[in-house]
Amino acid sequence: MAERHEVVFVDGVRTPFGRAGEKGMYWNTRADDLVVKAMVGLLDRNPDVPKDRIDDVAIAATTQQGDQGLTLGRTAALLAGLPKSVPGFAIDRMCAGAMTSVTTLAGGIAFGAYDLVLAGGVEHMGRHPMGFGADPNPRFLAEKLVSEEALNMGSTAERIHDRFPQLTKERADRYAMRSQQKAAAAYDAGKIQPDLIPVATRGESGWGLATRDEALRPETTMEGLAGLKTPFRPHGRVTAGNSSGLNDGATISLLASEAAAKEFGLSAKMKLVSFAFAGVEPEIMGIGPVPSTEKALKKAGLSITDIGLFELNEAFAVQVLSLLDHFGIEDEDPRVNQWGGAIAIGHPLASSGVRLMIQLAAQFAERPDVRYGLTAMCIGLGQGGSVIWENPFYNGKKK
Protein backbone atom coordinates (compact mmCIF):
# COMPACT_ATOMS: atom_id res chain seq x y z
CA MET A 1 0.00 0.00 0.00
CA ALA A 2 1.18 3.50 -0.83
CA GLU A 3 1.65 5.71 2.21
CA ARG A 4 -0.50 8.82 2.56
CA HIS A 5 1.26 12.11 1.89
CA GLU A 6 0.13 15.26 3.69
CA VAL A 7 -1.35 17.96 1.42
CA VAL A 8 -0.73 21.67 1.96
CA PHE A 9 -2.27 24.78 0.41
CA VAL A 10 0.76 26.88 -0.51
CA ASP A 11 -0.96 29.90 -2.06
CA GLY A 12 -4.03 31.08 -3.93
CA VAL A 13 -5.01 34.17 -5.91
CA ARG A 14 -7.93 35.38 -7.97
CA THR A 15 -8.98 38.04 -10.39
CA PRO A 16 -11.37 40.68 -9.14
CA PHE A 17 -14.90 39.42 -9.83
CA GLY A 18 -16.89 41.38 -12.43
CA ARG A 19 -20.57 41.79 -13.16
CA ALA A 20 -21.73 39.50 -15.96
CA GLY A 21 -23.14 41.06 -19.11
CA GLU A 22 -22.43 43.87 -21.54
CA LYS A 23 -22.02 46.47 -18.79
CA GLY A 24 -19.58 44.30 -16.82
CA MET A 25 -15.86 45.03 -16.82
CA TYR A 26 -14.92 41.71 -18.44
CA TRP A 27 -17.41 41.80 -21.33
CA ASN A 28 -14.53 42.10 -23.81
CA THR A 29 -12.21 39.72 -21.93
CA ARG A 30 -11.93 36.02 -22.74
CA ALA A 31 -12.61 33.48 -20.00
CA ASP A 32 -9.36 31.62 -20.63
CA ASP A 33 -7.44 34.89 -20.42
CA LEU A 34 -8.89 35.49 -16.95
CA VAL A 35 -7.60 32.18 -15.61
CA VAL A 36 -4.26 32.59 -17.40
CA LYS A 37 -3.85 36.02 -15.79
CA ALA A 38 -4.51 34.51 -12.35
CA MET A 39 -2.10 31.62 -13.05
CA VAL A 40 0.72 33.93 -14.16
CA GLY A 41 0.12 36.11 -11.09
CA LEU A 42 0.32 33.09 -8.78
CA LEU A 43 3.56 31.84 -10.34
CA ASP A 44 5.08 35.34 -10.33
CA ARG A 45 4.62 35.62 -6.58
CA ASN A 46 5.99 32.12 -6.00
CA PRO A 47 9.24 32.28 -8.01
CA ASP A 48 10.76 29.30 -6.18
CA VAL A 49 8.25 26.92 -7.76
CA PRO A 50 10.04 24.98 -10.52
CA LYS A 51 7.52 25.12 -13.36
CA ASP A 52 8.70 21.86 -14.87
CA ARG A 53 7.91 20.08 -11.58
CA ILE A 54 4.20 20.96 -11.66
CA ASP A 55 2.54 17.57 -12.12
CA ASP A 56 -0.96 18.58 -13.23
CA VAL A 57 -3.31 21.53 -13.74
CA ALA A 58 -7.07 21.23 -13.13
CA ILE A 59 -9.31 24.14 -14.16
CA ALA A 60 -13.07 24.00 -13.67
CA ALA A 61 -15.86 25.64 -15.65
CA THR A 62 -19.58 24.96 -15.47
CA THR A 63 -20.40 25.82 -19.08
CA GLN A 64 -17.55 24.24 -21.03
CA GLN A 65 -17.87 25.83 -24.42
CA GLY A 66 -16.27 28.57 -26.49
CA ASP A 67 -13.50 30.40 -24.64
CA GLN A 68 -13.94 28.24 -21.55
CA GLY A 69 -13.98 24.91 -23.36
CA LEU A 70 -11.22 22.79 -24.92
CA THR A 71 -9.70 21.10 -21.84
CA LEU A 72 -9.09 24.33 -19.95
CA GLY A 73 -6.39 22.99 -17.63
CA ARG A 74 -4.15 22.13 -20.58
CA THR A 75 -4.87 25.21 -22.71
CA ALA A 76 -4.47 27.59 -19.74
CA ALA A 77 -1.19 25.94 -18.75
CA LEU A 78 0.21 26.44 -22.26
CA LEU A 79 -1.05 30.03 -22.46
CA ALA A 80 0.48 30.79 -19.05
CA GLY A 81 3.89 29.71 -20.30
CA LEU A 82 4.21 26.45 -18.38
CA PRO A 83 6.46 23.86 -20.06
CA LYS A 84 4.72 21.64 -22.60
CA SER A 85 5.57 18.69 -20.32
CA VAL A 86 2.96 19.91 -17.78
CA PRO A 87 -0.43 18.22 -18.38
CA GLY A 88 -3.87 19.58 -17.54
CA PHE A 89 -7.58 18.84 -17.63
CA ALA A 90 -11.02 20.41 -17.09
CA ILE A 91 -13.58 19.71 -14.36
CA ASP A 92 -17.30 20.35 -14.01
CA ARG A 93 -19.17 20.12 -10.73
CA MET A 94 -21.20 23.27 -11.29
CA CYS A 95 -20.60 25.74 -8.41
CA ALA A 96 -18.07 23.43 -6.74
CA GLY A 97 -15.81 23.16 -9.77
CA ALA A 98 -12.74 24.82 -8.26
CA MET A 99 -13.34 23.04 -4.96
CA THR A 100 -13.37 19.74 -6.86
CA SER A 101 -10.21 20.75 -8.75
CA VAL A 102 -8.54 21.13 -5.37
CA THR A 103 -9.87 17.91 -3.82
CA THR A 104 -9.20 15.82 -6.93
CA LEU A 105 -5.58 16.92 -7.23
CA ALA A 106 -5.15 16.76 -3.44
CA GLY A 107 -6.15 13.10 -3.66
CA GLY A 108 -3.37 12.62 -6.22
CA ILE A 109 -0.88 14.26 -3.86
CA ALA A 110 -2.06 12.15 -0.92
CA PHE A 111 -1.63 9.00 -3.02
CA GLY A 112 1.90 10.02 -4.02
CA ALA A 113 1.21 10.60 -7.71
CA TYR A 114 1.75 14.39 -7.55
CA ASP A 115 4.16 16.75 -5.78
CA LEU A 116 3.04 20.18 -7.03
CA VAL A 117 -0.28 21.05 -8.72
CA LEU A 118 -2.36 24.03 -9.81
CA ALA A 119 -6.11 23.88 -9.15
CA GLY A 120 -8.75 26.50 -9.86
CA GLY A 121 -11.75 27.56 -11.87
CA VAL A 122 -13.20 30.22 -14.13
CA GLU A 123 -16.66 31.34 -15.11
CA HIS A 124 -17.59 34.03 -17.61
CA MET A 125 -21.33 34.13 -16.96
CA GLY A 126 -21.66 37.08 -19.32
CA ARG A 127 -20.50 34.98 -22.26
CA HIS A 128 -21.78 31.66 -20.94
CA PRO A 129 -24.95 31.89 -18.81
CA MET A 130 -25.52 28.92 -16.51
CA GLY A 131 -27.04 26.02 -18.43
CA PHE A 132 -26.77 27.78 -21.78
CA GLY A 133 -26.74 25.25 -24.60
CA ALA A 134 -27.38 22.34 -22.22
CA ASP A 135 -29.94 19.71 -23.20
CA PRO A 136 -31.26 18.04 -20.02
CA ASN A 137 -32.50 14.53 -20.64
CA PRO A 138 -36.32 14.62 -20.95
CA ARG A 139 -36.48 11.63 -18.56
CA PHE A 140 -35.54 14.00 -15.72
CA LEU A 141 -38.99 15.57 -15.90
CA ALA A 142 -40.99 12.83 -17.63
CA GLU A 143 -40.10 10.26 -14.99
CA LYS A 144 -40.20 12.86 -12.21
CA LEU A 145 -36.57 12.22 -11.29
CA VAL A 146 -36.47 15.93 -10.50
CA SER A 147 -39.11 18.64 -10.56
CA GLU A 148 -38.84 21.42 -13.12
CA GLU A 149 -38.01 23.82 -10.29
CA ALA A 150 -34.89 21.78 -9.46
CA LEU A 151 -33.26 23.15 -12.60
CA ASN A 152 -33.81 26.74 -11.40
CA MET A 153 -31.51 27.60 -8.49
CA GLY A 154 -33.67 30.50 -7.29
CA SER A 155 -36.68 28.21 -7.06
CA THR A 156 -34.69 25.73 -4.99
CA ALA A 157 -33.87 28.55 -2.56
CA GLU A 158 -37.58 29.39 -2.27
CA ARG A 159 -38.17 25.72 -1.43
CA ILE A 160 -35.78 25.98 1.55
CA HIS A 161 -37.81 28.93 2.86
CA ASP A 162 -40.93 26.76 2.47
CA ARG A 163 -39.44 23.82 4.31
CA PHE A 164 -37.99 25.84 7.20
CA PRO A 165 -40.47 28.61 8.10
CA GLN A 166 -38.07 29.99 10.72
CA LEU A 167 -35.76 31.00 7.84
CA THR A 168 -37.67 34.20 7.15
CA LYS A 169 -37.07 36.75 4.41
CA GLU A 170 -36.13 39.28 7.10
CA ARG A 171 -33.36 36.98 8.37
CA ALA A 172 -32.13 36.43 4.81
CA ASP A 173 -32.15 40.16 4.08
CA ARG A 174 -30.33 40.98 7.31
CA TYR A 175 -27.71 38.33 6.56
CA ALA A 176 -27.27 39.79 3.05
CA MET A 177 -26.90 43.35 4.35
CA ARG A 178 -24.26 42.21 6.84
CA SER A 179 -22.37 40.41 4.06
CA GLN A 180 -22.18 43.70 2.13
CA GLN A 181 -21.06 45.59 5.24
CA LYS A 182 -18.40 43.00 6.14
CA ALA A 183 -16.99 42.93 2.60
CA ALA A 184 -16.78 46.74 2.54
CA ALA A 185 -15.02 46.75 5.92
CA ALA A 186 -12.59 44.07 4.72
CA TYR A 187 -11.75 46.17 1.65
CA ASP A 188 -11.31 49.28 3.81
CA ALA A 189 -8.93 47.32 6.04
CA GLY A 190 -6.95 46.00 3.04
CA LYS A 191 -7.80 42.35 3.75
CA ILE A 192 -8.99 41.32 0.26
CA GLN A 193 -6.59 43.19 -2.03
CA PRO A 194 -3.35 41.24 -1.35
CA ASP A 195 -4.70 38.15 -3.12
CA LEU A 196 -6.22 39.94 -6.13
CA ILE A 197 -4.38 39.90 -9.47
CA PRO A 198 -5.21 43.10 -11.44
CA VAL A 199 -6.61 42.51 -14.93
CA ALA A 200 -6.48 44.92 -17.88
CA THR A 201 -9.98 45.59 -19.24
CA ARG A 202 -11.28 47.15 -22.43
CA GLY A 203 -14.58 49.00 -22.70
CA GLU A 204 -16.29 51.79 -24.64
CA SER A 205 -14.21 54.40 -22.84
CA GLY A 206 -10.93 52.60 -23.57
CA TRP A 207 -8.56 50.55 -21.45
CA GLY A 208 -8.88 50.16 -17.70
CA LEU A 209 -7.56 48.04 -14.83
CA ALA A 210 -9.76 45.82 -12.67
CA THR A 211 -8.42 45.98 -9.11
CA ARG A 212 -11.52 45.27 -6.99
CA ASP A 213 -14.75 43.32 -7.15
CA GLU A 214 -17.34 45.12 -9.22
CA ALA A 215 -20.63 44.13 -7.59
CA LEU A 216 -20.07 45.41 -4.03
CA ARG A 217 -23.01 47.37 -2.61
CA PRO A 218 -21.93 48.71 0.79
CA GLU A 219 -24.86 51.14 0.86
CA THR A 220 -27.36 48.24 1.12
CA THR A 221 -30.13 48.79 3.70
CA MET A 222 -32.91 46.59 5.08
CA GLU A 223 -35.46 49.03 3.61
CA GLY A 224 -33.88 48.75 0.17
CA LEU A 225 -33.79 44.96 0.34
CA ALA A 226 -37.42 44.77 1.51
CA GLY A 227 -38.62 46.50 -1.66
CA LEU A 228 -36.89 44.23 -4.21
CA LYS A 229 -38.84 42.01 -6.59
CA THR A 230 -39.09 38.26 -5.98
CA PRO A 231 -38.38 36.93 -9.49
CA PHE A 232 -38.77 33.23 -8.76
CA ARG A 233 -42.38 33.36 -7.51
CA PRO A 234 -44.98 36.03 -6.64
CA HIS A 235 -44.64 37.20 -3.02
CA GLY A 236 -41.56 35.03 -2.63
CA ARG A 237 -38.59 35.60 -0.35
CA VAL A 238 -35.58 35.23 -2.66
CA THR A 239 -34.42 38.47 -4.33
CA ALA A 240 -31.39 39.79 -6.16
CA GLY A 241 -30.40 41.41 -2.87
CA ASN A 242 -30.23 38.25 -0.76
CA SER A 243 -28.61 36.10 -3.47
CA SER A 244 -25.25 36.10 -5.21
CA GLY A 245 -25.23 37.85 -8.58
CA LEU A 246 -24.15 36.74 -12.04
CA ASN A 247 -20.41 37.21 -12.25
CA ASP A 248 -17.21 36.70 -14.23
CA GLY A 249 -13.90 35.76 -12.63
CA ALA A 250 -11.14 33.19 -12.10
CA THR A 251 -9.26 31.62 -9.19
CA ILE A 252 -6.14 29.47 -8.93
CA SER A 253 -4.32 27.73 -6.09
CA LEU A 254 -0.99 25.99 -5.63
CA LEU A 255 -1.05 22.74 -3.64
CA ALA A 256 1.90 20.57 -2.69
CA SER A 257 2.85 17.55 -0.68
CA GLU A 258 4.39 18.56 2.63
CA ALA A 259 7.67 16.99 1.50
CA ALA A 260 7.72 18.91 -1.82
CA ALA A 261 6.93 22.17 -0.03
CA LYS A 262 9.98 21.59 2.18
CA GLU A 263 12.13 20.59 -0.82
CA PHE A 264 11.35 23.82 -2.68
CA GLY A 265 11.30 26.12 0.35
CA LEU A 266 7.59 26.84 0.07
CA SER A 267 5.59 27.79 3.17
CA ALA A 268 2.14 26.31 3.77
CA LYS A 269 -0.84 28.57 4.45
CA MET A 270 -3.17 25.66 5.26
CA LYS A 271 -3.02 21.89 5.68
CA LEU A 272 -5.77 19.66 4.29
CA VAL A 273 -7.58 17.63 6.96
CA SER A 274 -10.54 16.07 5.13
CA PHE A 275 -13.12 16.69 2.42
CA ALA A 276 -16.50 15.31 1.46
CA PHE A 277 -19.25 15.70 -1.12
CA ALA A 278 -22.86 14.65 -0.58
CA GLY A 279 -26.10 14.51 -2.53
CA VAL A 280 -29.53 15.83 -1.47
CA GLU A 281 -32.89 16.30 -3.16
CA PRO A 282 -32.22 18.54 -6.20
CA GLU A 283 -35.32 20.61 -5.33
CA ILE A 284 -33.61 21.86 -2.15
CA MET A 285 -30.01 21.78 -3.33
CA GLY A 286 -29.03 24.58 -0.93
CA ILE A 287 -28.98 22.25 2.09
CA GLY A 288 -26.22 20.18 0.44
CA PRO A 289 -23.42 21.52 2.65
CA VAL A 290 -25.16 20.12 5.75
CA PRO A 291 -24.56 16.41 4.96
CA SER A 292 -21.22 17.07 3.25
CA THR A 293 -20.00 18.91 6.38
CA GLU A 294 -21.28 16.12 8.66
CA LYS A 295 -19.38 13.65 6.46
CA ALA A 296 -16.14 15.69 6.39
CA LEU A 297 -16.25 16.17 10.18
CA LYS A 298 -16.76 12.44 10.72
CA LYS A 299 -13.84 11.57 8.44
CA ALA A 300 -11.65 14.04 10.36
CA GLY A 301 -12.79 12.82 13.78
CA LEU A 302 -13.94 16.35 14.62
CA SER A 303 -17.18 18.04 15.67
CA ILE A 304 -18.63 21.37 14.53
CA THR A 305 -17.39 22.96 17.78
CA ASP A 306 -13.79 22.33 16.64
CA ILE A 307 -14.26 24.68 13.66
CA GLY A 308 -12.96 28.15 14.48
CA LEU A 309 -13.54 29.85 11.12
CA PHE A 310 -16.16 29.26 8.43
CA GLU A 311 -16.04 30.35 4.78
CA LEU A 312 -19.45 29.42 3.36
CA ASN A 313 -20.45 30.25 -0.20
CA GLU A 314 -23.43 32.59 -0.18
CA ALA A 315 -25.26 31.39 -3.27
CA PHE A 316 -28.40 32.45 -1.38
CA ALA A 317 -28.65 33.84 2.14
CA VAL A 318 -31.26 31.23 3.07
CA GLN A 319 -28.90 28.45 2.09
CA VAL A 320 -26.21 29.65 4.53
CA LEU A 321 -28.82 30.17 7.25
CA SER A 322 -30.05 26.58 6.82
CA LEU A 323 -26.55 25.30 7.62
CA LEU A 324 -26.11 27.66 10.57
CA ASP A 325 -29.47 26.61 12.02
CA HIS A 326 -28.68 22.93 11.59
CA PHE A 327 -25.45 23.28 13.57
CA GLY A 328 -26.85 25.70 16.15
CA ILE A 329 -24.76 28.67 15.02
CA GLU A 330 -26.07 32.24 15.32
CA ASP A 331 -26.77 34.24 12.13
CA GLU A 332 -24.12 36.80 13.08
CA ASP A 333 -21.55 34.45 14.61
CA PRO A 334 -18.18 36.23 14.14
CA ARG A 335 -16.55 32.99 12.96
CA VAL A 336 -18.69 32.94 9.81
CA ASN A 337 -17.67 34.79 6.62
CA GLN A 338 -16.00 37.54 8.57
CA TRP A 339 -14.97 39.38 5.37
CA GLY A 340 -18.33 39.02 3.67
CA GLY A 341 -19.24 36.50 1.01
CA ALA A 342 -20.62 35.86 -2.43
CA ILE A 343 -23.69 38.06 -1.92
CA ALA A 344 -21.29 41.04 -1.88
CA ILE A 345 -18.18 39.75 -3.64
CA GLY A 346 -19.82 37.68 -6.39
CA HIS A 347 -20.11 34.02 -7.36
CA PRO A 348 -18.62 33.17 -10.76
CA LEU A 349 -19.83 29.58 -10.36
CA ALA A 350 -16.91 27.18 -10.90
CA SER A 351 -14.30 29.60 -9.53
CA SER A 352 -15.82 30.24 -6.09
CA GLY A 353 -14.48 27.24 -4.16
CA VAL A 354 -10.91 28.53 -4.26
CA ARG A 355 -12.04 32.06 -3.28
CA LEU A 356 -13.32 30.57 -0.03
CA MET A 357 -9.93 28.92 0.53
CA ILE A 358 -8.00 32.12 -0.24
CA GLN A 359 -10.00 34.03 2.37
CA LEU A 360 -9.72 31.28 4.97
CA ALA A 361 -5.95 31.07 4.45
CA ALA A 362 -5.57 34.82 4.98
CA GLN A 363 -7.65 34.63 8.15
CA PHE A 364 -5.61 31.69 9.49
CA ALA A 365 -2.47 33.85 9.28
CA GLU A 366 -4.13 36.42 11.54
CA ARG A 367 -5.61 33.88 13.95
CA PRO A 368 -3.04 31.53 15.51
CA ASP A 369 -5.67 30.80 18.18
CA VAL A 370 -7.81 28.97 15.57
CA ARG A 371 -6.84 25.41 14.68
CA TYR A 372 -9.48 24.30 12.13
CA GLY A 373 -11.50 26.04 9.42
CA LEU A 374 -14.21 24.96 7.01
CA THR A 375 -14.88 25.89 3.39
CA ALA A 376 -18.27 24.67 2.18
CA MET A 377 -20.79 25.30 -0.58
CA CYS A 378 -24.03 24.11 -2.12
CA ILE A 379 -23.97 22.69 -5.65
CA GLY A 380 -26.63 22.62 -8.36
CA LEU A 381 -28.68 19.45 -8.94
CA GLY A 382 -28.64 18.66 -5.23
CA GLN A 383 -25.11 18.41 -3.86
CA GLY A 384 -22.88 19.89 -1.21
CA GLY A 385 -19.10 20.09 -0.82
CA SER A 386 -17.02 20.67 2.33
CA VAL A 387 -13.28 20.88 2.97
CA ILE A 388 -11.73 21.06 6.44
CA TRP A 389 -8.35 22.75 6.82
CA GLU A 390 -5.84 23.02 9.66
CA ASN A 391 -4.04 26.23 10.51
CA PRO A 392 -0.24 25.75 10.39
CA PHE A 393 0.18 28.86 12.56
CA TYR A 394 -1.95 27.43 15.39
CA ASN A 395 -0.27 28.03 18.76
CA GLY A 396 -2.79 26.43 21.10
CA LYS A 397 -3.54 29.69 22.89
CA LYS A 398 -7.16 30.80 23.04
CA LYS A 399 -7.83 34.40 22.08
Q: Would you name the residues annotated as active-site residues?
A: 95, 347, 378
Percentage helix, strand, coil, to 5, in the chain? 35, 20, 40
- DSSP calls for 286-297: GGTHHHHHHHHH
Closest CA to 95 of 170, 157, 28: 157
Q: Which residues contact 332 (CB under 8 A, 6 or more apart)?
A: 178
Give the alpha-carbon dihedral of 274, 275, 281, 287, to 10 degrees.
80
Cα Rg of the chain (Å, integer): 20
Q: Are 112 and 5 in contact (CB under 8 A)?
A: yes
Cβ-contact 342, 181 below 8 angstroms: no
Strand, coil or helix: 25: coil
What's 127's DSSP letter?
T
Of 46, 99, 95, the closest CA to residue 388 belongs to 99
Helix (H) / strand (E) containing 139:
helix 139-142
Check if the beta carbon of residue 49 is closer than 8 Å to that of residue 261.
no
Separation in Å, CA 227 to CA 224, 246, 275: 6, 20, 39
